[in-house]
Structures are given as C-alpha cells and as structure tokens.
Structure 1
Amino acid sequence: MARRISAWLSTNEKAMLCFSDEPDVFYLAKVNKAPDFEEFLTFGRFTVEFLCEPFKYSVFSKQVILEMDSNSVQYISNGGTAETYPRLVIEAVYGEIQNPKITINDKYLLYNGVLTNNSAIEINTESFLATKSMERDIITTGAYDTAENNILSMIDGEFGALFPGGNTFAYTSANGQRARIRLVWQERYL
C-alpha cells in the first residue's frame, strides 16, 4: 500500500485534486512537499502539501453548438467567477467557408484559409493551438497532409476568453457562408 501511495505522490505533473466537501469542482495541483513515509508507517497517517493553481475548475464541461450565419452574434453565459478559455470548432457543414472569423467579446481570430465542405478547424484558446480536421481529406482523397496538423501560422488575432457573466460571440466569413460552431469550456472559480 505504501508503495502505491508513494508512486502517486512522486510525480511532478499537475493533476486533478478533488475534495469530498466540493464534489463539483477540482483544483490543478502537484505535490509541493513529499510526505514523511516513516510517519505513515508509524502512525498510519501523513501530511501532503500541494501547490495549486489559483482557480477551481468545474468537473463538468459546458458545451454550446451554434448554427451561425455570417455576420451574426450570439450571447454566451459563463457561470464561473473567473475568465475561462474555450475550445472552438468551426465546421463547414453547409459548404465551403472562406476566411472564417470568430470574435469573443473584443478579441478576434481569423483563419486565413478555406474550409472545404465538411472539414473543420479547432482552436484551443487556452493552449494556443489551432489544428485542421483531416477526416474529409482522408475520406475523399485517401491522403493526409501532416503539414496542416498545426495551422497556427494561418491564424491572425488574439485568443479571447469568456468572462464571468454574459459574453458576445460573433462569426463572419469572406464568402458569407453559414457555419456550425461548437464551444467547449470549463467554468473556473476564484
């Protein structure tokens, strides 16, 4: 038993830390001070000191799927008490989309490229990543262009956050094409 506990506490990586009195949230934490295992062997208990990020995260992710016409605005509510950074997926389910642009509050992200019919891009505003779905290319051509794995160089603008309360979310495209947009985020609390 002591070896399993020791292995669990010996990592330097951040992990979810949950407490029984707050079952709907977790902290991202790592062990700051290793426990004294002699204390455990002698008394059957020990103290662990964690170093946590300043936020609590909701255990449940929020997801909104929007069918948006070009030049339209939606309102998104973030129930947390701190800003959070969403992951967004723009899908060309209604036809080719040229230069899709997303604006979250006053920050915009513009993809300088074309989404062919039934393809998608994913933008992770927390980890500053942007990737293109190759599923359609594999199905229609049998090919996969690994150069398009990371399309961050084709993105202009700033990665925006959802603030506590109401947020504006706007979509436009150069050719006026409608898009399906999925936002996924975890509410954070101070």
Structure 2
Amino acid sequence: MFTFKGNNSDTFLKVLKVRQSVLPSSKISMVEVAGRSGAYFVKKEHGVRTIEIEVAIIGASQTDLRNKVRQIADWLDSEQPEALTFSDEPDKIYYAILDRETDLEEIVSLGTGTLKFTCPDPFAYATNETTLSLVAGGTTEIDLAGTARVYPVVTATVNTATNLFRISRGDAFGNDDKLEVSFSFAVGDQLEVDFMKGTVKINGTLQMQTLTLDSDFYYLEPKGKNFVWTSGEFTSQMKFSERFK
C-alpha cells in the first residue's frame, strides 16, 4: 500500500509488488592520465531514484475498468514531484512524479500494469521536521541518525544591533565550515539562511550580496555529531528533515 498526493492507493487499486534499488543510482567522475594505468577518482554524485509499483485493478466490465483508470490517471497526474509514502516505511517520504513511460492503456487491457515513479531528489526524508534552538554565542551539538547529508534552514532574530552574523560547523571528521552575513542589523531584524537553496534573506528580502567571500552553504554530516556555533547577538533556530539513502 502507498500514499501519493495524500490519497491512499487502496481507494483505487491493489498493490502487487514494489521494486526499487537499495541505493539511488550514482555517477562516478574520473580523469584518465596518459601513461598511467587506471584513472584518478574525482567525485561521486547520486542520480535519480526510480520506483516501480506493480498494481491490479478489478472492474465489473471493460467500461468500469476504463473509468477507474481515468480516475487513477487524474490522481497520479502532477506538475511537480509530490509526496510518496509506503506503509512499510511510514516514517519516510519520497518526492516523486509519475514517469511518462507508464502505460495506463496496458492496465485497461489487462487489469494489471506497472506504475513508474521518478524521484529527481533520490533521498527519502523523515516525515517529522526537526527544530532546534541554537545556543547564542556558544556551541550546539547536533547528532544525526540519517544516512545522507542534511542542508538546514536557519532563522535568526536580532537582539543586539550588530554588523555581522556568523554560524560555523565542525565535526569529528575535521571539517570546519562557516557562513557569515555582513549587514547593519537592527534590533528585531529577521534573518533566514537556506543551506539547500543557497539563499540569504533579511526581513523577507533576498540579500545575497551580504555574504562574505569565504562563506559556505555547508551541510550537516550524517551518522555523527555536528558542532554548530552561532553569534551571541541573535536568537537562532535550525530546521531540517533527516535524509536517508
């Protein structure tokens, strides 16, 4: 059983089998050098995830079957990826869109077929969003249970007028990253930093020019402790959903 766009599959059809890879597809970049055996590894990137769901529909007649398939087509049609969850993983969400290769006419003819979903973002997300209050002028320890990197959203309210906001992160792997916003902050100003989108907003207005040149939109490492330090002049919160490969 699965849920898509908030609607349960049991309303429309019977799920026979779900097929998806244990890990999303990946692309490995390498550079070959003349006179050297093999190649130099450069990086690995995750590709899209594909999920196939074998389904069956029972109709009283061919006309009834076609009407049900028309309802299913309306349900599954979307302009962008939508929330997809499975009953055996109720705490995780995939964001998927129905692949154009799905043959609904096959379902009309045979009463069975395969729904093919594509997840442009190959990771599953925790259904519950985590919200943390960050220690002003100190360090907050964040321990992630997920298996993929997390890009948080940080919001901050100015308590004392200042010209700089700084948030940095370190971990057990020796990483040390920081992001700084240079701006004439007044008491009550609102700052939002979205590490996934790579944006900085002050009082709701995009202010990318306020980033210092050595700033990084960094991530939180999975399966380990992250240590986050924030400026003391702000009351700051961090929000994120844990991600899973």
Q: TM-score range by the shorter chain?
A: 0.7 to 0.9
Deviates more, 1:98-107 or 1:1-10: 1-10
Deviation (angstroms), 1:97: 2.8
Contact 1:90–1:122, Cα closer than 8 Å, also in 2: yes
Q: Check the 8 A contact 1:76/1:166 in 2, yes or no.
A: yes
Q: Is the 8 A contact 1:67 1:178 kept in 2?
A: no
Counterpart secondary structure, 1:8? helix
Contact 2:161–2:233 (CA<8 Å) still a contact in 1?
no
Change beyond 3 A, Cα 1:153–1:21: same
Which of 180, 185, 205 is the equivalent residue of 1:115? 185
**Cα offset, 1:130, TM superposition:** 1.2
Relative to structure 1, the CA distance from residue 8 to residue 114 in structure 2 (aligned partners, 3 Å threshold; closer, same or farther) is farther
Q: Shift in Å at residue 43 of structure 1? A: 4.2
- Candidates 222, 227, 233, aligned match of 1:168: 227
Alignment: residue pair count = 169
Q: Name the CA distance, whole Å, in 1 between partners of 2:243 and 2:217.
A: 17
Q: In the TM superposition, what is the alpha-carbon distance from 1:75 to its structure 2 partner?
A: 1.3
In the alignment, what sits opposite 1:188? 243
Please list, as runs of the form range in 1=range in 2, the aligned pairs for 1:45-56 lying within 5 A after superposition. Answer: 45-52=112-119, 53-56=121-124
Deviation at 1:12, TM superposition (A): 4.8
Match of 2:107?
40
Counterpart-to-counterpart distance in 2, 1:97 and 1:66? 18
**1:188 aligned partner, one-letter code:** R
Q: Distance in 2 between matches of 1:189 and 1:88?
A: 21
Task: Provide structure 2 residue ranges, at least 5 long, that are not aligned to the other structure.
Answer: 1-67, 171-175
Larger radius of gyration: 2
Shift of 1:82: 1.2
Q: Extract unaligned runs of 5+ from structure 1.
A: 135-148
The one of the two structures with greater contact order (alpha-carbon pairs below 8 A, sep at least 6) is 1
Once the two structures are superposed, residues 49-95 of structure 1 have per-residue CA deviations (whole angstroms, 9 ceiling, x without a partner) of 112233111011001012402xx222112221111000001211x22
User: Within 5 Å, which residues of 2 pair with 1:139-150?
Assistant: 149-150=205-206
Residue of structure 1 in register with 2:65 after alignment: none
Q: Tell me the distance in 2 between the aligned counterparts of 1:33 and 1:21.
A: 26
Gap change, CA 1:159 and 1:128, over 3 Å in 2: same
**Structure 2 matches for 1:72-111, cutoff 5 A?**
72-92=138-158, 94-105=159-170, 106-111=176-181
TM-score under structure 1 normalisation?
Answer: 0.80
Decide which moves more: 72-81 or 43-52.
43-52
Deviating 4+ runs (over 6 angstroms): none
Distance (Å, rounded) in 1 between the aligned partners of 2:228 and 2:125: 22
Identical-pair percentage: 24
